[in-house]
Structures are given as C-alpha cells and as structure tokens.
Amino acid sequence: MKLVYVFDAYCGWSHAFPGTLQEVIARHPDLPVEVVSGGLFTGQRRVPIREFGFIKGANVQVTAQTGARFGDAFNAVLDEGSFVMDSEAAARGLIALRQAAPERAAELAIAMQKAFFHEGLSLSDAKTYRKIADEFGLDSDAVVVAFKTAVPDADFQLAARFGVSGFPTLIAVRGNDAYALARGHANIEQIEQRLAGLLASQ
C-alpha cells in the first residue's frame, strides 16, 4: 500500500495540511508517499488574484479551523492584486523538485507552499525553485532546467483518475483500489482511524 497526496500549491487548504501530512508520514514510515499536483488555477482561472475575492475570507477561515498562518509577504501580494496564480507552472516546479529527490517529495511540496504563502514568492519563477533546491542541498541548475521543460499533464490526469475534485486529498492505494483518507481538512485522528481499518485488512 502507498499514500498519494494530491494538492495544489496555490490552495490555502493545502497550505494548512502539512502538519497532518507530516504526522501521518512519521507514524507510517513504511508507507511510500507519492505527491501529485492538481490543476486548481489553469485555463480561464489564470487571472489576477484580485479576481478571487473570496481568498482573503477563506484564509481567515483556514486559520480559524487549522491554525495555519499566512505571511506578511503573501498578504502584500494578495492586497496588491495583480499576481496570477498558475497551477500548471507550479506543477512543473513540483515535478522538477520531485525528480531531484523523490523520497523528499512531501517536504518539497510543503516548501513550495511556504515560499508562496509565507514569503510571497511566485511559483512561476525559476528563481523560487533554485532557492528551494539550494535549501535542500539539491542540484539547483538541474532543477531549474527540469522546471522549464517539465510537462504536468500526467499529474493532472492522475488526479482526475482518482476522482479528486478538491484539495488537498490524501488517498491510500492498494493494488487497483483507492481509498480517500482525507478530503480537505481532516485531523490526524480521523485519518488514522480510516487507515487502521485498511492496514488491518491487508
């Protein structure tokens, strides 16, 4: 069995999930974790962030329910309003980082969200991935090259095959069967209860 974490790097609820994800990984070090990008802001949804008037209120709700914080640099980007969130570019960034250190994919995905939601950095900018690569001791030149050439269609298609329509979603995959452990906000106790039943039936 393995875990598949489907997230979108520009999703505020995904930004709130890392603590829970890290706890699941810590409790089950024997379960491989695959990280897949969703396509929340693609196509006609690639517009200035000011067009999504709900974001500021949604982030207040995220903080109230999960304790997740949003940095001053991100809030400045949100207030200025012209930044365009592009999930296709963010997915290319995840692919580049994931190729460099597949066993650290979850950590790298979390670092991407920290870069945006705390530091206000663009996930469409190669310099952001160079910075993350350097922080993780990876080959930053190779990461930047991969970012520029990666094709995220396989990630988006995999998310669709799992029936993911919201982020984050954590899935347990056993053979040809997939079981949702969390859709959106879920605490560690809820996930552990669902996972325990699957592990017991192996």
User: What digits encode the pLDDT tens for the residues 65-119?
Assistant: 999 999 999 999 999 999 999 999 999 999 999 999 999 999 999 999 999 999 9
- What fold is seen in the domain 2-201? Glutaredoxin (3.40.30)
Domain segments of the chain as ranges = 2-201
Cα–Cα distance list, 40 to 8, 90, 121, 167 (Å): 6, 10, 18, 8
User: What digits encode the pLDDT tens for the residues 13-72?
Assistant: 999 999 999 999 999 999 999 999 999 999 999 999 999 999 999 999 999 999 999 999
Rounded to a whole number, what is the distance in angstroms from the first to the last CA of the chain?
9
Task: Encode burial over 38-53: b for 16+ CB neighbours within 10 A, e otherwise.
Answer: bbbbbeeeeeebeebe
pTM for this structure? 0.95
